[in-house]
Amino acid sequence: MKNELRAQPAVSTYSPSWAYKGLALIAGLGALLLTLAPDGAVRASQIIHTDSDGDGLVDAQEQVLSLNQNSADTDNDGYSDLEEVARHSEPTMYHSTPLPSNINLALSARGDSGRLVVVFAIYLGDREPADIELSMGVLLRNRIGHIPPWYFMREAWMTLHPGSEPGTSVMVVECSLPPNFIHAIGNVSIYGVVEDSQTGAALAADVVDLGSQSGVVFMRSMPPIRTATQIGGAIGGTQPLSGSVYLPIPPGGDGDIPMSWVPGEVCYQKTQVVGAGGGLVSHEVVEAECRDGWDAYCKIDCASSVGSTYDTLDPAVLIGG
Ligand SMILES: [Ca+2]
Ligand SMILES: [Ca+2]
Ligand SMILES: [Ca+2]
């Protein structure tokens, strides 16, 4: 169903070489994934799933999200880190708690054991896991491509955790992808959709934007609220943050990051929307610089990304909004 969607960007940003790769990739996404992950590749069961505080987010994922891996409720507001991630409230701010909701989905990612792991955090409310189905896909050359269910299921790892309200639960599904996939494409939006298993209706959707620069895979995300003053001081002032940070998530660990990436910093980009249509949103980087105070790395030429553009998906289009 989802692979019939076609999105047309208002602004085309693709180079011919990228388009060539995109064409080659879209020709057989399933075949590509199979090629890049032949038998013997690391499976989901070989990914490190240590969860020291038992909140459902593994330690390595808490590190990417800047959460406390030794506290199930980092901000002590009664909602677990996992539930806050799934429900899009800020897990490190006591005064940020989830809005009333029936079901939510949040995607994030990390590198782990030579693989890229895409993490679905799904707030189920009072639903059972059997009540929903998941689908997953990518934005490739202006088109939405479905990741085949056989691949998804082979690579998926699922756990279930209690929610804050009695009778509610939060599910985590981790799906590993070959990092070559990201290297080949450069930038990719990976989407997930939670569907009603009875009716097929889309209930929730989210998108995570991944990229590759100089062989380093990164995840683009909004700066956490707690660092608004830190990151917004020079660039954003007191205005609401409109930018994003890109956090390196090298599949093999920190050792994969070359010397040209500065430790203790992150590349912050202020962006503006320059086009939207058919579910695609085109962003242009208008300011960019390395900001310190982060347990991350900043590519030394972060500032040269000014003027570049990237596209992402509007999750609302995936649920018919
Ligand atoms: Ca945890
Ligand atoms: Ca935690
Ligand atoms: Ca909390």
Ligand that comes closest to the CA of residue 80: 3
Query: For 56-60, 153-157, 164-168, 190-194, which range has the lowest pLDDT when averaged over its residues?
Result: 153-157
Ligand that comes closest to the CA of residue 76: 3
pLDDT range class, residue 242, cuts 50, 70, 90? low
Ligand that comes closest to the CA of residue 58: 1
Instruction: Tell me which CATH code domain 2-212 carries.
Output: 2.60.40.10
| Edge-to-edge order in the sheet of strand 309-313 | 143-146, 132-140, 187-196, 202-213, 216-221, 244-248, 261-277, 280-299, 309-313
Residue type, 170: V
Ligand that comes closest to the CA of residue 59: 1
Residues 283, 305: Cα–Cα separation, whole Å: 12
**CA of 57 relative to ligand 3 center, distance in Å:** 13
> Are the beta carbons of 195 and 134 closer than 8 angstroms?
yes
Element (H, E) at 212: strand 202-213
> Are the beta carbons of 120 and 132 closer than 8 angstroms?
no
**CA of 197 relative to ligand 2 center, distance in Å:** 30
**CA of 80 relative to ligand 3 center, distance in Å:** 5
**CA of 194 relative to ligand 1 center, distance in Å:** 23
pTM of the predicted protein model: 0.83
The packing angle between helices 16-26 and 29-36, to 10°, is 90
Q: What is the pLDDT of residue 181?
A: 79
Reported as a single tens digit per residue, the pLDDT across 176-231 is 888 887 888 788 899 999 999 999 999 999 999 999 888 899 999 876 654 444 44
Q: Please spell the DSSP secondary structure of 226-247, one letter per residue.
A: GGHHHHHTTTTTTSPP--EEEE
- What are the angstrom distances between the C-alpha of 70 and each of 53, 55, 57, 107, 169? 5, 9, 11, 22, 21
**CA of 101 relative to ligand 3 center, distance in Å:** 16
Reported as a single tens digit per residue, the pLDDT across 71-81 is 999 999 999 99
Residues 302, 284: Cα–Cα separation, whole Å: 14
Q: What is the pLDDT of residue 108?
A: 95
Ligand that comes closest to the CA of residue 72: 2
List, in order, residues 6 or more apart from 128 with CB less than 8 Å away: none
pLDDT range class, residue 44, cuts 50, 70, 90? low
Rg of the chain (C-alpha set): 19
Task: Please list the alpha-helical segments (H only) found in the chain.
Answer: 16-26, 29-36, 59-64, 81-86, 149-155, 179-185, 228-232, 315-318
Reported as a single tens digit per residue, the pLDDT across 93-141 is 888 899 999 999 999 999 998 889 999 999 999 999 999 999 988 887 6
**CA of 97 relative to ligand 3 center, distance in Å:** 7
Residues 321, 319: Cα–Cα separation, whole Å: 6
Ligand that comes closest to the CA of residue 53: 1
Ligand that comes closest to the CA of residue 91: 3
Strand partners, 171: 122, 160
**CA of 275 relative to ligand 3 center, distance in Å:** 36
Residues 74, 294: Cα–Cα separation, whole Å: 18
Q: What is the pLDDT of residue 183?
A: 85
**CA of 114 relative to ligand 2 center, distance in Å:** 24
| Domain residue ranges in the chain | 2-212, 216-317
- Neighbour tally for 128: CB within 10 Å: 11
Q: Pick the residue with more confidence: 44 or 218? A: 218
> Are the beta carbons of 202 and 137 closer than 8 angstroms?
no
Q: What is the mean pLDDT of the chain?
A: 81
Ligand that comes closest to the CA of residue 65: 2
**CA of 247 relative to ligand 2 center, distance in Å:** 19
**CA of 240 relative to ligand 2 center, distance in Å:** 27
Ligand that comes closest to the CA of residue 73: 3
Ligand that comes closest to the CA of residue 79: 3
- What are the angstrom distances between the C-alpha of 229 and each of 234, 285, 288, 311? 9, 20, 16, 27
**CA of 81 relative to ligand 3 center, distance in Å:** 5
**CA of 78 relative to ligand 1 center, distance in Å:** 15
Residues 146, 2: Cα–Cα separation, whole Å: 7
**CA of 66 relative to ligand 1 center, distance in Å:** 11
For residues 53-68, give the mean pLDDT: 93
Ligand that comes closest to the CA of residue 55: 1
Ligand that comes closest to the CA of residue 83: 3
Per the structure block, which two tokens stand in for 245?
A: 């940070």
Residues 291, 270: Cα–Cα separation, whole Å: 12
